[in-house]
Amino acid sequence: GNSVTQMEGPVTLSEEAFLTINCTYTATGYPSLFWYVQYPGEGLQLLLKATKADDKGSNKGFEATYRKETTSFHLEKGSVQVSDSAVYFCALRAYGQNFVFGPGTRLSVLP
Amino acid sequence: DTAVSQTPKYLVTQMGNDKSIKCEQNLGHDTMYWYKQDSKKFLKIMFSYNNKELIINETVPNRFSPKSPDKAHLNLHINSLELGDSAVYFCASSQGDGSPLHFGNGTRLTVT
């Protein structure tokens, strides 16, 4: 079946540090890939998405590139802020199938 | 102008009681979902409805019963609540393959 693996957290960084959260997936066919962010006490919000190989999704300074050869969709940001502290979820959806979420990675950014 | 709204935000109740959580979306989406998030933030799908018809029913106790009066609403009724039901429940909706999920802000259920 389809699955998503994320790096285990928590990840703790200082403000303005570079962020990478690794995500790899297993799926049949060509799934769409997503990153969601969950701030404390809130629901999950779509951060970015990519629907085909080599697509780059970007939003709010975050980026992720759909790499079919390595089945990866790593999330990156060049300079994190305290306000980026949240839980980040990688997810996929293959055609005609349900969403599959990774376990989430908690990010804490210290001032 | 909230896209997916669910009520209540917090629900504290005793074991054995019956409770309901309501969800409404104004995005015009055809498919709605219920997810359960445990204390470790792991998300598990419970149900999915497409145009008022049940299309996914994961391994969930039959004490949980979803009801969809129309495609904009998907309510969750839980009978005989147990301690292990304590979690955050999220409603979500989507439109078509490749489209993202839109989540509500969650209902934190605490069973004492």
pLDDT confidence band for B1 (50 / 70 / 90): low
User: Distance between CA atoms of B49 and B59, rounded to whole angstroms?
Assistant: 15
Give the distance from residue A101's alpha carbon to the nearest chain B alpha carbon, in angstroms.
7
Q: What is the pLDDT of residues B63-89, one digit of tens each?
A: 999 999 998 999 999 999 999 999 999
User: Distance between CA atoms of A96 and A111, rounded to whole angstroms?
Assistant: 44
CB contact under 8 A, B104 and A43: yes
B39 touches chain A (CB under 8 A): no
> Is the preceding peptide bond at A31 cis, omega within 30 degrees of 0?
no
CA-nearest residue to A96 within chain B is: B97
Give the distance from residue B90's alpha carbon to the nearest chain A alpha carbon, in angstroms.
7
Phi and psi at A84, nearest 5°, equal -85, -5
List CB contacts (< 8 A) between A106 and chain B: 41
A91 and A73 Cβ atoms separated by less than 8 Å: no
List CB contacts (< 8 A) between B103 and chain A: 36, 43-45
Range in A34-38, A62-66, B23-27, B43-47 the model is least confident about: B43-47
Q: CA-based angle A106:B2:B79, to the nearest 5? A: 75
Q: Facing residues of B11 across strands? A: B109
Q: What is the pLDDT of residues B3-19, one digit of tens each?
A: 999 999 999 999 999 99
Judged by DSSP in three states, B100 sits in: coil
Q: In angstroms, how far apart are the furthest CA atoms of chain A?
A: 44
- Considering only CB atoms, A103 lies closest to which of B42, B45, B103, namely B42
- pLDDT > 90: what percent of chain B? 75
pLDDT confidence band for A28 (50 / 70 / 90): confident
Place of tokens 């979420």: A101
B39 CB burial (10 A radius; 0-12, 13-18, 19+): exposed
Q: What is the pLDDT of residues A44-85, one digit of tens each?
A: 999 999 999 999 999 999 999 999 999 999 999 999 999 999
Q: What DSSP state is assigned to residue A21?
A: E
Which pairing describes strands B53-57 and B43-50: parallel, antiparallel, or unpaired?
antiparallel
